[in-house]
């Protein structure tokens, strides 16, 4: 999964050095480099990946909200660990755990993108490389 294609040699070294800051920003606020950097191909590469990751994050957030709202079981109501003495609908632990692991995975993928940009690499992001939406 982590052994993805490296296209670093396709980019001019000057573009890489001049675009590192914006390439890093591509994984934090991707729409800024995506819409502002039209000339630097290295930045555009990372901005497209950042936009794809942002879209995946938005889809994840929507699914997370829907699943947590819909999947409920009867459980003990508590407030900061204190049992309130009655039952209510709660999200099962396995739903919360699964969604949390996916969210952490998305954050790790963003961190991989940032580290690639810092190193001056143009490597495809794991999993995100399967969903190339932005061109």
Query: Can you give 80-96 as a three-state secondary structure string?
Result: CCEEEEEEEEECCHHHH
> Which of 18-22, 124-128, 131-135 holds the top average pLDDT?
18-22
Average pLDDT (33-47) is: 93
Chain center to CA of 130? 14
Q: What does pTM read for this prediction?
A: 0.84
At residue 81, does pLDDT exceed 70?
Answer: no
How confident is the model at residue 98, as a pLDDT?
Answer: 95
Pull the structure tokens for residue 87.
Answer: 């039952």
The pLDDT value recorded for residue 67 is: 92
Residue spans per domain, the chain: 8-129
Residue 49 CB-density burial (10 A; 0-12 exposed, 13-18 middle, 19+ buried)? buried
Q: Is the pLDDT of residue 42 over 80?
A: yes
Over residues 55-78, mean pLDDT: 88
């Amino acid at each position: 999964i982590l052994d993805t294609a490296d296209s670093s040699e396709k980019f001019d070294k000057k573009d890489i050095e001049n675009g590192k800051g914006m390439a890093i920003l591509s994984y934090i606020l991707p729409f800024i480099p995506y819409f502002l950097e039209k000339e630097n191909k290295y930045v555009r590469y990372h901005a497209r990946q950042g936009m794809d990751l942002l879209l995946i994050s938005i889809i994840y957030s929507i699914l997370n909200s829907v699943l947590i709202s819909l999947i409920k079981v009867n459980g003990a109501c508590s407030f900061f660990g204190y049992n309130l003495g009655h039952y209510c609908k709660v999200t099962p632990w396995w739903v919360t755990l699964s969604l949390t692991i996916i969210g952490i995975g998305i954050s790790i993928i963003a961190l991989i993108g940032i580290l690639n940009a810092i190193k001056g690499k143009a490597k495809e992001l794991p999993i995100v490389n399967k969903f190339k939406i932005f061109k």
